[in-house]
């Protein structure tokens, strides 16, 4: 079995690089941390809804799309920053368009989420569940607070220093 530059080792090395890119983006991009937190919360709360296979697939596609586009946006920003040391209107356009793609996917995902999850009876079931299991409600609230701290923990200048470590 060849595990050299053209074998299965190279194939699996690609997964390692992809995972490193995801971890780097989570560490350095506030918006990625926000999207990851929302995705986890949505996945946890999905159990309260009797979603069809199509609805479940739509939710996972939306999550994957937003997170993927955030990765692409980060890659575009890094490439533009590396190529253009000075202000350049084309660099701005590239970065703005990449950010716009994430925004469109996020807004569309919110619309899908509202369509799927806006259900009074499910809201009551969730409230009732956490009222009966107060410690789980406290844990959820603490989790949301920790998520917000995680998302906003890093000031913008620290984010820039962290990004420079990965260049």
List binding-site positions for ATP.
10, 17, 29, 77, 95-96
Q: Is 20 a catalytic residue?
A: no
Residues making up the annotated binding site for substrate are 10, 70
Q: Report the helix count and the strand count for the chain, using DSSP H and E.
A: 7, 0
Known binding-site residues for a divalent metal cation equal: 29, 77
Q: Which residues fall in the annotated binding site?
A: 10, 17, 29, 70, 77, 95-96
Q: Say how far apart CA 144 and CA 33 lie, in whole Å.
A: 13
End-to-end CA distance of the chain: 34
Spot the catalytic one: 20, 55, 70, 164: 70
For 32-89, the DSSP string reads HHHHHHHHHHHHHHGGGS---HHHHHHHHHHHHHHHHHHHHHHHHHHHHHHH-SS--H
| Catalytic site positions | 70
């Amino acid at each position: 079995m060849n595990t050299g530059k053209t074998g299965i080792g190279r194939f699996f090395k690609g997964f390692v690089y992809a995972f490193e890119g995801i971890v780097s983006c989570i560490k350095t991009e506030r918006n990625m941390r926000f999207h990851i937190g929302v995705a986890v919360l949505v996945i946890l709360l999905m159990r309260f809804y009797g979603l069809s296979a199509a609805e479940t697939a739509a939710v996972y596609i939306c999550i994957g799309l937003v997170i993927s586009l955030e990765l692409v946006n980060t890659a575009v920003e890094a490439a533009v920053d590396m190529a253009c040391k000075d202000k350049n209107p084309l660099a701005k356009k590239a970065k703005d368009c990449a950010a716009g793609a994430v925004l469109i996917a996020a807004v569309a995902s919110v619309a899908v989420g509202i369509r799927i999850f806006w259900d009074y009876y499910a809201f009551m079931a969730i409230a009732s569940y956490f009222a009966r299991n107060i410690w789980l409600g406290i844990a959820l609230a603490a989790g949301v607070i920790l998520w917000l701290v995680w998302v906003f923990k890093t000031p913008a200048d620290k984010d820039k220093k962290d990004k420079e470590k990965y260049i």
